[in-house]
Structure 1
Amino acid sequence: MVDHSRFSGDPEFMMSLAKGLAVLRLVANTQGQISIAEAARRTGFSRSAARRCLYTLSQLGYVAWHNEGFVIQNEHYSLGSNFVGTGSLASRATPILERLRDELGESCSLGILDGDHVRYIARAQTSRIMSINLYAGSRLPLCVTSMGRVLLAGCDQPMLDEYLGRTSLTPLTGKTVTDPRRLLTILEGVKRDGYAIVDQELEIGLRSVAVPVESSGRVIAALNIGCAASRIPIEEMLTRFLPRLRKASEELRA
């Protein structure tokens, strides 16, 4: 229940903005979708006020209708997670990533969809020197990263078509996939197999493997492990890294 009564006499306080933020916070904290009636019940707002808040947030792209309720938009999950505080996805992922890093000796990350990029929201990095320096807040193109491809594979077809229509598949190395039809085939395999491997398409010498993190049947984030191609063959990534990544994903979802 949200109580803004203490601000009722403050002429500078925007009650409508406060209600909108309260509803956005509620959607961000909710696992799965939330209906108008449930939003009204949990905030204490009238049904019409809750409906107007959700409508406005959806028109601005912060939430979206999914099945029978509203969900936070993936590209705004980082905004939503700021409201969640210590219970946020990033906070819960950090000890899991650190344990995975210590177990495997490789850097591990959690990323979310941010427009046409994957945004790193949590990372456990090794002390090993690598030519690419990543941290929470880093953004990389979706099409050339393992986490990006996992997130793309979780999009519906209209969103994917829109992305490919506006995106130039620029070659970053000689291994970068630049054919949209080939990328679509790769994404179909990612969706079918439940993981993505990118081998030196972003940077020569860098390999990574990623798996989805799901909630209520949709991909909300991706977990990955990055390593040097000179040290770790792809077969080892599949046999040693992938099972542990999947276990970490299940732990985070639980």
Structure 2
Amino acid sequence: MGADDPYYVKSVEKTFAVLGAFTPEHPRHSVSSVAAAADLSRAAARRFLLTLCDLGYLSSSGSLFELAPRSLDIGSAFLATLSLPTLAEPHLKALAAELGETTSLCILDGMHVVYVARVAPPRLVHVSVNVGTRFPAWATSMGRVLIAALEPEAREAHLNAVELKPYTPHSVSTLDELRAEVELAGSRGWARVSDELEGGLRGVAVPVSRYGSVVAAANVSLQMHRDPDESLEETVVPLLRSAAQRITADLNIR
């Protein structure tokens, strides 16, 4: 299935390319920047932008456009029908309170992980990661757990499609290194990423399953000054695994 099939509507693809240009890093766009991001002519980009404004999905101020509240409708309907975040949240809250750290649940969507639930203890300074936030899967502990759970052919295809980027000096820099990290995550059943996606932060993740298949990853975000990496398997991983097992148990009775 794809663009060559007779049912395929190119205008729908272009519409979502325009919407997809608006990201946390680039929340406002001009006609020209949307045209470049969506690979459209300037005239076509302008027509799409104005139509989306008329429909309420975008708003404009002068020459700049940004997402409007109605754009939330696209994702909220999906989240409302997804039982996973609802079932996971009480267990994530309990774990966040026990550890005093932020807990999350992510799913794999193509080359990215997407946050579908997130709980931060009140004492923590707010970090701009919310439900719906996406990160490159390869650079996160959640992503490595989820990549490891893919069937061998799909896992290899995913790894071969990764575009490595040095987010920090500690980011994995070669495909062989990444493959080794993913294999380690699969063999021990959990993954740790330290100081790779953002300086000063670590993540630990374990899989969440439904009827024997991994469907998500539960995660704890840790400051670098907390327990040394060597002790996380004894201090954090057992509590995280226990929470993931409770989420899995709830999923399996639905």
How does the TM-score come out when normalised to structure 1? 0.64
Task: Give the CA deviation at 1:237.
Answer: 2.2
Instruction: State the match for 1:221 in structure 2.
Output: 216
SS in 1 for 2:193: strand
Corresponding position of 2:81: 83
The letter of the residue matching 1:83 is T
Q: Which of residues 190, 193, 208 is equivalent to 2:188?
A: 193
Q: How does 1:154-233 map to 2 (within 5 A)?
A: 154-233=149-228
Matched residue, 2:104: 109
What is the distance in 1 between the residues matched to 2:195 and 2:134? 17
Question: What are the ranges of 5 or more consecutive residues in structure 2 without an aligned counterpart?
Answer: 1-75, 250-254
Q: CA RMSD in A?
A: 1.9
Q: Which residue of 1 aligns with 2:238?
A: 243
Cα distance change on mapping 1:165 and 1:235 into 2, 3 Å: closer
Match status 1:92 vs 2:87: yes
Q: Which amino acid aligns with 1:225?
A: V
Match of 2:148 in 1: 153
Which whole-Å deviations, capped at 9, do the CAs of 1:99-133 have from their partners, x for residues lacking one?
A: 11111100000000111111000011123126x42
Contact 2:79–2:116 (8 Å) recurs in 1: no
What's the counterpart of residue 124 of structure 2? 128
Counterpart mapping for 1:7-46 below 5 A: none
Over 3 Å counting, the alpha-carbon distance change for 1:80 and 1:219 in structure 2 is: farther
Aligned equivalents of 1:133, 1:243: Cα separation in 2: 27
SS in structure 2 at match of 1:161: helix
Once superposed, which parts of structure 1, at least 4 consecutive aligned residues long, lie more than 4 Å away? 78-81
Shift of 1:136: 1.0
Deviation string for 1:210-236 (max 9, x for gaps)?
A: 000012222100001001102332134
Hey, what's the Cα distance between the residues in 2 that align with 1:81 and 1:107?
20
Secondary structure (helix, strand or coil) at the match of 2:179 reads helix
Q: Deviations over 1:130-160 (max 9, x none)?
A: 6x42111111110110001111111112212
Unaligned runs of 5+ in 1: 1-77
Summarize the Cα distance change of 1:157–1:80 in structure 2 as closer, same or farther, 3 Å threshold: farther
Q: Mean Cα displacement is larger for which, 183-192 or 121-130? A: 121-130
Partners in 2 of 1:236 and 1:104 — Cα distance?
Answer: 14
Distance 1:199 1:251 in 2: 26
Contact 2:159 2:179 in 1 (8 A): no
For residues 233 and 128 of structure 1, the distance between their equivalents in structure 2, rounded to whole angstroms, comes to: 20
Q: Normalised by the size of structure 2, how large is the TM-score?
A: 0.64
1:172 Cα shift? Answer: 0.4
Query: What CA distance in whole angstroms lies between the structure 2 residues aligned with 1:147 and 1:161?
Result: 17
